Structures are given as structure tokens and as C-alpha cells.
Amino acid sequence: MLLTISTTYSPATDLGYLLYKHPERIQSFKLPYGQAHVFYPEARAERCTAALLLDVDTVGLTRRPQGRSGENFPLAPYVSDRPYVASSFLSVAIAKVFSSALSGKSKERPELAETAIPLKAKLSILPCQGGEELLRRLFEPLGYKITVEGHILDARFSDWGESRYFTVTLQNTCRLSELLTHLYVLIPVLDDEKHYWVDEAEIEKLLKHGKNWLAAHPEQESIVSRYLKHLRLLTDQALAELCETDPQQTDETIQGQEEAKVEARSNLNEIRLQTVTDVLKKCGAKRVLDLGCGDGKLLHKLLREQQFEEIVGMDVSHHALKTAQESLHYKQLPDRQKERLRLFQGSLNYRDKRLAGYDAAAVIEVIEHFDLPRLAAFERVLFEFARPQTIVLTTPNIEYNVKFENLQAGNLRHKDHRFEWTRDEFHSWTNRISERFGYAVVFHPIGSTTEDVGAPTQMAVFTREGRKDEIT
Ligand code: SAH
């Protein structure tokens, strides 16, 4: 199995500094499953190519504990494509042999490591479960020009048809660390097999190597799912963390503060949270969810009300949850209070069993942080699966923005807001979902209401219909 990386950056031999491998030497590395050799088939100032040759120990492989295929087919260890194709073995080799380059470090050429240079990678044989189309869907959004040469299963028997093996060339002008990271993550994704057990540690690796590009990749979900061997729980966890690491979505708490600045003069946040607390009290709820709880201001109010016997705060952001825990002085709370309150991480875009069975849920200033296409998933998560008796949901009224002196015309209240709705838009959305999921809805404006543009915050209170029938 051969991976070559070429550049025409001048002087091209600087590639040696980026890879920490001298162009004049052949270097070999011992790996748990064989050997990796690095050498340069060409090293000129105009063009330089480094090669990573993977020599998998075929006999050693047969002695490894076998996975599923081994159980079904006793000869599998002996008729395996693993020694000859790019697979997770190659990713492990990249991480071991090019570790500094993978993390974007170069002692001798630090600026070059930070620079986008013309790069071309060639994979001699890349297995791809999903064919050329998948190859393109994965690499093209990352800016690669890709050439793909398919191989038929057996040249002597052309009617056996196409194999899942391709010779692939990828060209891009990017940092070497980006190229290596993309290969590191996507090779096992394309192969859709892993030679080792996949657990939570894999999420960490995926997020470490994918944090700068995966959140915006259109194939994000299938990449994550394949990378984590289609394990649902791990995949959901990784996707939830990815939206947290989405550069546009990081550090919501600080962003919340910015929003607070825009709304500050009217003391709107306090009025909003008090109104929500009052609604939750009035509906008689005892067990309540604060979904997208942020830094915990609503939780604080709810804790003061003895009516609420169980209070849960959930947020996708670890950082927000940590801030909430600190601002609530969770550790110092008396045991009785502690027992009433639970905080956990989770995403409202994924079905979550922990949310079922509550009397009420508050979703305060959260939905405008979702990409619109994800709203449909949220609707089902909350209204179909969690399905509390009462749902209190607030979102900004965009019409009111003209009244904020410190908000530039046309801007949303916050840079992470993906949308803000007019009253009409909010009403038609709420009407649609209440009809679809069997809830009755009542609207309340929050904050000082004006005749022309309404109030700054719009609140909808949903009540599940058919309660009496369900009880009897
Ligand atoms: N409800 C709080 C915080 C609002 S800021 C308040 O009114 O003060 C929006 C919050 O939604 C942030 O804390 C953010 O981390 C959280 N959030 C964004 N997307 C989310 C998702 N998919 N699942 C759960 N929480 C999410």
C-alpha cells in the first residue's frame, strides 16, 4: 500500500521540513501490524514527492483476534485485502510517522506549515464502499480536485464487474496538516471497516482531527457514523459535540452576553425568565426541563420555587453547563436542593430518552441557534418523543430589532442566530407544529409592546391535547 504526497511549492524539497523526514534518507518505522517506510522518489526544487509505503505483516494479521468476518468465514484472515489497501492501518501509520505534520507543527518551517501550498496525494488502492460518487461527495466539498480510476474485480473475468477498489489522486492548495487530517479521517470512512475496537476515545480523535472542517461538511453525518462504525450512541454523541465545536457555534455563554448587551436596557432577560417561571408554576408542573439552559439563570429561579420537585438543565455546550454549575454553586447546595437539580449534556437535534416523562419543558431563546434544516429534527425530539404536557418556547421577534439603539439595522441580535422570525413567521410555525403533534398553543408577547412592531420577545405556550382522555 503506497501513499505519495507531492508539492510544486518552491523550493519543493521544503516538504522534508514539514514531514520531519529528510529527502535523502529512507526511514523505517515499526508498527503493531507491520512496517512503514518513508522515502522520496523525487526531490527537486520544482517538485518533490514523499512516499509512505505500508508493509503489513500478513502472517501477523492472521494471528490477530478476528472480528465478525472471521467468525463467518474461517479463511477470512488468509484471504484479506488488508495488507494491500488504504485502511485504518494507514491512518494509524500517518498518525505515527507524520505526527508533527498532522498537527501542523514544523520546527524548521513554522510559517510554511501554516501556509496553503499546492499538494497532490495519490493512494495506490483505496477501498470505497459507496463508489466514486461517495469519494467525490467526501473530498470535493473540502476543495479537492479528484481523479478516480476504478478497478474491475478480476481482469480475466470481466463479467465479474467493478470492484470497490480505486486508485485516487487528490489535488488541493491547502496546508499539509489539512491534507493529512482529511486522509486520516476519511480513509477509514471510505473503507467502512476498522481494525480495532471503537469506543469513546474514537470520538475524541475524530473531534480533534475534524474540528476545523467536519462541522461544515455536508456529509457530516455519514462521515461520523462510518467513522464510529455505525454505533448509534457514539455517533449521536459525536454529532452533538461537533455542533458545539462548530466555530460558528462555540462559546454560547459569551455570545449570550453579547445578546444581553443588545437587550440590556430593557432588562428583558429578567422579565422573560420571570414570565416563563410564572407560566411553569401556573400549569402545575412538578418535573421540568430547561432545554438549552445556557448559564442557568432560569434554573436558578426554578430552584427557588418549591413546587418544582425535579429540575433538569440540558445544553449542548459543556462550557455553558460548567458555567451553570458554578453560578448555581451546585457543589455547595444542601443535599435536598442538589437532589432536585440535574444537569446534563445533550443535543436537541437528537432523540434522547432522558427527556421523556416530564410535565413541562422550557426552550428559551434556543431555536434561533439551530440551522433551519435542523428544526424539523428538534420538533420531533421535543413534541413527538419527549412530549411533555406543557412546552414554553421563546424566540426573538425580528420586527422589534429596529427599536434597539445599539443594534445595526439589518443585523440579528446575536451573531450565532441563524434566523429571527417576524410574528407572522413564528405564528405559522407554531400553528403548524401544534396541529401536527396535537398541542394547543397560546401566544404571549414579552417585554414592552409597541403598536407597530410588537414586543421584543415572542413566547408560545403549548399544551398537549387529549390529557383527560389519556388519564381515563
Ligand atoms: N435558555 C438560556 C440560554 C439561551 S442561549 C437563556 O435563556 O438564558 C442558547 C443556548 O442554547 C446555548 O446555551 C446553547 O449552547 C444552547 N443550544 C444551542 N444549540 C443546541 C442544541 N442543539 N441542543 C441543546 N442546546 C443547544
Separation CA 368–CA 263 (nearest Å) = 16
Please choose, from the candidates 179, 69, 70, 85, the residue with its C-alpha nearest in 3D space to the C-alpha of residue 128. Answer: 85
Is 192 a residue whose pLDDT tops 80?
no
Residue 288 CA to ligand 1 center (angstroms) comes to: 16
Looking from the CA of residue 374, the nearest atom of ligand 1 is 22
pLDDT at 468: 44
Residues 275 and 185 placed together within one structural domain of the fold:
no
- Last residue in a domain, options 158, 176, 196: 196
**pLDDT tens, position by position, 219-261:** 888 898 888 877 777 777 788 777 665 444 434 444 455 566 6
- Last residue in a domain, options 155, 180, 196: 196
**How many residues would you count in the chain?**
472
Give me the sign of the Cα torsion angle 238, 221, 134, 118.
negative
| Residue 221 located in a structural domain | no
Residues 267 and 118 placed together within one structural domain of the fold:
no
**pLDDT tens, position by position, 57-104:** 877 766 665 554 444 567 766 777 878 888 888 998 999 999 999 999
| Residue 26 located in a structural domain | yes
Residue 369 CA to ligand 1 center (angstroms) comes to: 7
pLDDT classification of 460: cutoffs 50, 70, 90: very high
pLDDT at 260: 65
Domain count, the chain: 2
| Residue 275 located in a structural domain | yes
pLDDT at 254: 43
- The grid cell for 56 is 503489513
**pLDDT tens, position by position, 4-59:** 999 999 999 999 999 999 999 999 999 888 899 999 999 999 999 999 999 988 77
Is 429 a residue whose pLDDT tops 60?
yes
CA end-to-end distance (rounded Å), the chain:
68
| Probe residue for ligand 1, chosen from 220, 250, 252 as the CB with the greatest number of ligand atoms within 8 Å | 252
pLDDT above 70 as % of the chain: 89
Give me the sign of the Cα torsion angle 101, 105, 108, 113.
positive
Angle at 97 between CA 96 and CA 98, to 5 degrees: 100
pLDDT mean across residues, the chain: 87
What secondary structure does DSSP assign to 67-130, as a single string?
A: -HHHHH-TTGGGS-SGGGS-SHHHHHHHHHHTHHHHTT--SS-HHHHTS-EEEEEEEEEEE-TT
Residues 308 and 437 placed together within one structural domain of the fold:
yes
- Domain containing 341 equals 252-464
Mean pLDDT of 410-434: 91
Establish whether residue 364 lines the binding site of ligand 1, counting it when its CB lies within 6 angstroms of any ligand atom: yes
Residues 190 and 256 placed together within one structural domain of the fold:
no
Q: Give, to the nearest 10 degrees, the angle between helix 232-245 and helix 220-227.
A: 130
Give bridge partners of residue 37 from the DSSP assignment. 28, 53
**pLDDT tens, position by position, 40-50:** 999 999 999 99
Please choose, from the candidates 274, 318, 281, 335, the residue with its C-alpha nearest in 3D space to the C-alpha of residue 300. Answer: 274
**pLDDT tens, position by position, 151-164:** 877 777 767 777 88
In CATH, what number is assigned to the domain containing residue 430? 3.40.50.150
User: Could you say which DSSP state residue 218 is in?
Assistant: T
Nearest Cα residue to atom 20 of ligand 1: 316
Residues 74 and 146 placed together within one structural domain of the fold:
yes
The residue to which cell 426552550 is assigned: 363
| Residue 312 located in a structural domain | yes
Residues 158 and 274 placed together within one structural domain of the fold:
no
Q: pTM of the entire structure? A: 0.54
Residues 83 and 147 placed together within one structural domain of the fold:
yes
| Probe residue for ligand 1, chosen from 366, 391, 394 as the CB with the greatest number of ligand atoms within 8 Å | 366
Establish whether residue 348 lines the binding site of ligand 1, counting it when its CB lies within 6 angstroms of any ligand atom: yes
pLDDT above 90 as % of the chain: 55
418 with 372: CB under 8 angstroms?
yes
Mean pLDDT of 110-115: 93
In CATH, what number is assigned to the domain containing residue 144? 3.30.1610.20
The residue to which cell 444581553 is assigned: 260
Residues 25 and 167 placed together within one structural domain of the fold:
yes
Establish whether residue 447 lines the binding site of ligand 1, counting it when its CB lies within 6 angstroms of any ligand atom: no
Residue 394 CA to ligand 1 center (angstroms) comes to: 12
Residue 252 CA to ligand 1 center (angstroms) comes to: 7
pLDDT at 261: 67
Looking from the CA of residue 348, the nearest atom of ligand 1 is 23
**Computed over its alpha carbons, how large is the radius of gyration of the chain?**
27
Give me the sign of the Cα torsion angle 250, 143, 236, 70.
negative
Residue 275 CA to ligand 1 center (angstroms) comes to: 18
| Residue 328 located in a structural domain | yes
